Amino acid sequence: MHYRVLGACAAALGAFLPVVAAECNRTYLESYANDYISTYENGKIADLKRAENFTYVENNKTTEFSGGIFDKSLVVAWKKTIVDPVECASFVEFITTKDSKGAAAPYVIGSQIRHSPGDLSTYLIDSIVSTTGSWLFNSTKTLEYATQENWTRIDDDKLDSREALKLAADAYLDMWNNKSAVDAVPWGNPCSRLEGSVYTGTSCKVGIPTNNNQAPNSHRRYVIDQAYGSISVLCIFEHLSNAPDSHEFRMENGKLRYIHTITIAKSGFLEVEEPAPVPVAGRRARRGGASSRLLG
Ligand SMILES: *[C@@H]1O[C@H](CO)[C@@H](O)[C@H](O)[C@H]1NC(C)=O
Ligand SMILES: *[C@@H]1O[C@H](CO)[C@@H](O)[C@H](O)[C@H]1NC(C)=O
Ligand SMILES: *[C@@H]1O[C@H](CO)[C@@H](O)[C@H](O)[C@H]1NC(C)=O
Ligand SMILES: *[C@@H]1O[C@H](CO)[C@@H](O)[C@H](O)[C@H]1NC(C)=O
Ligand SMILES: *[C@@H]1O[C@H](CO)[C@@H](O)[C@H](O)[C@H]1NC(C)=O
Ligand SMILES: *[C@@H]1O[C@H](CO)[C@@H](O)[C@H](O)[C@H]1NC(C)=O
């Protein structure tokens, strides 16, 4: 009887509680993401279903969703997709080194895809497209490192919360302008950062900013996938000449395990665009960069 009474109570309460929005269909978002990646190979971009108000943003600028990179008939050598069923979005990261004729066509691309919760129509693709000349760019090397990593699904009993994922990513991206942020990052051991094509090995602390008074990493857009312990953040690295940037984090058991960065800034831009700081003990002086100070 008690159960009955409780049940009736809960039902009555339910009428006044906000309805929890249904999650978006993971299978659909995943298959859409795969179709999207395929358009870079088969050029069938016109076939990709989109909402009437669809917008394509590339490196933080609204632009045409046709031509250019979509006509290159790339060979996708490696790809990875995460899905955010709550936000009805996905994030794909993929790597190419050549096109279908075998000519060099090096790209590392990260795209967030956003769908309407109702009809799942796609209204935004927000891409960071890096190629030769981008920060620490070498897609052959990025491919070598990425293929060695393990971003498989996390066991159901070991899932980290969406909040934990977001706190970790935000703390990391706050390090440039917040001195306390470094202690709020749940550093894993090991943890490996793939910054462009440069691998930090077993520590993600390599080259983190020591100057915490820089311009912030702003305009952050998130895609969070609890099942894969992953969070994608696209943002603007204001301290790096407003560079469009993608950071993706993988968390295992509450600690960061992997970080991937794609940054649209000229490698070595300090030498070109700013007076170089005074060299220290034979090394070129360096300052906080895309994720860090890996490059002089
Ligand atoms: C989810 O999407 C897949 C692929 O489009 C479809 O086959 C499946 O029926 C959908 N599931 C639901 C519950 O709508
Ligand atoms: C496009 O329309 C959808 C609803 O269909 C809405 O959720 C979304 O915010 C709109 N997108 C833009 C970029 O205006
Ligand atoms: C990119 O890395 C590959 C593999 O390490 C190397 O063979 C190649 O010379 C590099 N390319 C450039 C342009 O540095
Ligand atoms: C990959 O990681 C998962 C979860 O962290 C682990 O269960 C699995 O054994 C790993 N696979 C390999 C091939 O290392
Ligand atoms: C700096 O980071 C710490 C740790 O994440 C946080 O508690 C604090 O609110 C941040 N300060 C500002 C001004 O954002
Ligand atoms: C990036 O895009 C946002 C939204 O359109 C805009 O407000 C911002 O000024 C852009 N930032 C840069 C550095 O282009």
Ligand sitting nearest the alpha carbon of 196: 3
pLDDT attached to residue 5? 35
Best mutation site among 97, 108, 138 for ligand 3 pocket (most ligand atoms within 8 Å of CB)? 138
pLDDT attached to residue 18? 52
pLDDT attached to residue 176? 97
Task: Give the whole-angstrom CA distance, residue 159 versus residue 232.
Answer: 17
pLDDT attached to residue 280? 34
27-77: pLDDT as tens digits: 999 999 999 999 999 999 999 999 999 999 999 999 999 999 999 999 999
Ligand sitting nearest the alpha carbon of 117: 2
Query: pTM above the 0.85 mark?
Result: yes
For ligand 4, the distance from its centroid to the CA atom of residue 151, given in whole angstroms, is 8
CB-facing half-sphere around the CA of 229: CA atoms within 13 A: 21
pLDDT attached to residue 136? 94
pLDDT attached to residue 22? 83
178 lines ligand 5 (CB under 6 A): yes
54 lines ligand 1 (CB under 6 A): no
| Torsion sign, CA atoms 206, 207, 210, 212 | negative
Residue segments in the chain with a per-residue pLDDT below the cut of 70? 1-21, 268-296
243-278: pLDDT as tens digits: 999 999 999 999 999 999 999 998 754 333 333 333
Ligand sitting nearest the alpha carbon of 26: 1
HEC letters along the chain: CHHHHHHHHHHHHHCCCCCCCCCCCHHHHHHHHHHHHHHHHHCCHHHCCCCCCCEEEECCEEECCCCHHHHCCEEEEEEEEEEECCCCEEEEEEEEEEECCCCEEEEEEEEEEEECCCCCCEEEEEEEEEECCCCCCCHHHHHHHHCCCCCCCCCHHHCCCHHHHHHHHHHHHCCCCCCCHHHHCCEEEEEEEEECCEECCCCCCCCCCCCCCCCCEEEEEEEEEHHHCEEEEEEEECCCCCEEEEEEEEEECCEEEEEEEEECCCCCHHHHHCCCCCCECCECCCCCCCCCCCCC
